[in-house]
Amino acid sequence: MSEVFVMEDAHLPNDQKERINTLRIEGFAKLYQNIDYSRFRQDLDVEKSIQLIQWSMDGYANTLIDRLKGIDFSKFDYKHYHEEFLEYLEVLKKAYYK
């Protein structure tokens, strides 16, 4: 699955593009359900903060995809990238949450 997400859309059949898009939509829907708005700093516009967080995650994803092109995923160290992502989330928490 990792290889599919890293591949450029031009190299994927249309049915796979549609399934990946559906997965992304469903994933983001789950990500944004049950947000506790009271956890955000009171001096921030919460909707704009959420949009900035989304843009940050999109940028990280795009950067990661570029870094992973041509990687052999059978020997891929997912743990390293998971930990790196969690570090970025900690920075976002410090910026937006109480």
Q: Which residues fall within 8 angstroms of residue 89, CB to CB, at 6 or more apart? A: none
What's the pLDDT at 2?
Answer: 54
pLDDT in tens, 20-44: 788 888 988 888 889 999 999 999 9
Domain ranges of the chain: 2-96
**Do residues 76 and 2 lie in contact, with contact meaning Cβ atoms separated by under 8 Å?**
yes
Q: What is the pTM of this model?
A: 0.74
Band (pLDDT 50/70/90 cuts) for residue 64 is confident
